[in-house]
C-alpha cells in the first residue's frame, strides 16, 4: 500500500495539520505501508489562469505551467499512490487557498470536451482517473469547537468524491486545535486526557488504511471525538450560557501564554 498525503497548511511542517498527518503516517508505516507527506507550502504551485490552453486542440491536456512549477511532479506521485489524503486546516470556513489552488490545477489534466456520466449518475466530463479518481481520506482541522466550522470543507470533499468517482475512505475532523496546543504542547495531554485516545485513534486509522484501505467507523468516531472532559459536552456547547463560561476560561488560558 502506497499512501500519499497532501498537506495544504500554509504553515507546512510546523502546523497542526502536519502533526496529525504524522500520527496517521506512523500507524500506516507500522502496518507495512509506504507513506509520503507532501507539504504544498514548500512547493511551487502556480494558480490556474483559466487561460484554456490545456483545452485547445493544439495543446490538449498540456498546462502552460507544466514545466514551470511542481504540480505535474506531484500529479505523477499521486498516480503512483494507492490512496490519497487531502489534509487542510479551515480558513474562513473553507479549505486553505493553497490546497484549493492545487486542486484547481486538475483542470489541466481533464478534457472538458469529453462529456460523460459519473458512476453516481452526475453529468461531468473526462478526468484523469489515475490522479483524480484515487480513493482518498479528507483530514480537516480547526481551532474552533463549533460543529459547523468544518462543514464547508467536508461538503466539498463529499461533492468531489461524487464527481471524480473517487471513493472516500474516511473523514477525519479535529477541532479544538488551540486548546490542544496544535499537538505541540505536552501540557495539553494533562489538561485534556482524551487527546491520548484521539492520537491513538489516528495511529489506528493509519494502520487500517494500510491494511483495509479505509478507516473503520468506530475508529473515525474516536479520532473525531470532543476533547473537553465535560459530560455531554457535545450538547452543552450549543447552549449560550455554557459557551460564555467556555469563552472566559479559554481567554484565561490564552492570557496565561
Tell me: pLDDT of 240 over 70.
no
Residue 70 confidence (pLDDT) above 90: yes
Q: Phi and psi (nearest 5°) for 70?
A: -95, 0
- For residues 214 and 240, membership in a common domain is answered with no
Q: Is the pLDDT of residue 67 over 50?
A: yes
In the numeric block, the cell 481567554 is attached to 251
pTM for this model (two decimals) = 0.90
Task: Judge if 133 and 45 occupy the same domain.
Answer: yes
Residues 155 and 125 both lie in one domain? yes
Question: For the chain, what percent of residues have pLDDT higher than 70?
Answer: 89
Same domain, 200 and 241: no
Average pLDDT of span 227-243: 63
Range of the domain at 15: 2-225
The verdict on 106 and 122 lying in the same domain is yes
Cα 210 from Cα 29, distance rounded (Å): 8
Of 8, 4, 5, 165, the residue nearest 102 (C-alpha): 8
* 214, 249: one domain: no
Per-residue model confidence (pLDDT) at position 232: 47
Residues of the chain with pLDDT > 90, as a percent, come to 77
Asked if the model's pLDDT at residue 164 lies above 80, the reply is yes
Identify whether residues 165 and 199 lie together within a single domain. yes
Amino acid at each position: 500500500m502506497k499512501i500519499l498525503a497532501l498537506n495544504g497548511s500554509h504553515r507546512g511542517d510546523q502546523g497542526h495539520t502536519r502533526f496529525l498527518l504524522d500520527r496517521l503516517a506512523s500507524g500506516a508505516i507500522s502496518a507495512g505501508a509506504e507513506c509520503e507527506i507532501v507539504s504544498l507550502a514548500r512547493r511551487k504551485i502556480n494558480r490556474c489562469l483559466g487561460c484554456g490552453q490545456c483545452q485547445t486542440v493544439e495543446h490538449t491536456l498540456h498546462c502552460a505551467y507544466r514545466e514551470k512549477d511542481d504540480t505535474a511532479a506531484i500529479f505523477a506521485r499521486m498516480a503512483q499512490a494507492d490512496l490519497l489524503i487531502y489534509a487542510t486546516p479551515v480558513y474562513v470556513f473553507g479549505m486553505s487557498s493553497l490546497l484549493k489552488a492545487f486542486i484547481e490545477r486538475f483542470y489541466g489534466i481533464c478534457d472538458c470536451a469529453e462529456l460523460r456520466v459519473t458512476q453516481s449518475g452526475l453529468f461531468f466530463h473526462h478526468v484523469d482517473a489515475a490522479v483524480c479518481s484515487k480513493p482518498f481520506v479528507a483530514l480537516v482541522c480547526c481551532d474552533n469547537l463549533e460543529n459547523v466550522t468544518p462543514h464547508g470543507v467536508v461538503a466539498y470533499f463529499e461533492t468531489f468524491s461524487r464527481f471524480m468517482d473517487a471513493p472516500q475512505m474516511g473523514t477525519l475532523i479535529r477541532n479544538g486545535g488551540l486548546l490542544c496546543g496544535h499537538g505541540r504542547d505536552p501540557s495539553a495531554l494533562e489538561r485534556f486526557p482524551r487527546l491520548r485516545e484521539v492520537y491513538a485513534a489516528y495511529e489506528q486509522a493509519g494502520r487500517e488504511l494500510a491494511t483495509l484501505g479505509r478507516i473503520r467507523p468506530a475508529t473515525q468516531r474516536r479520532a473525531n471525538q470532543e476533547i473537553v472532559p465535560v459530560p455531554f459536552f457535545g450538547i452543552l456547547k450549543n447552549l449560550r450560557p455554557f459557551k460564555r463560561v467556555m469563552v472566559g476560561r479559554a481567554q484565561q488560558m490564552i492570557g496565561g501564554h
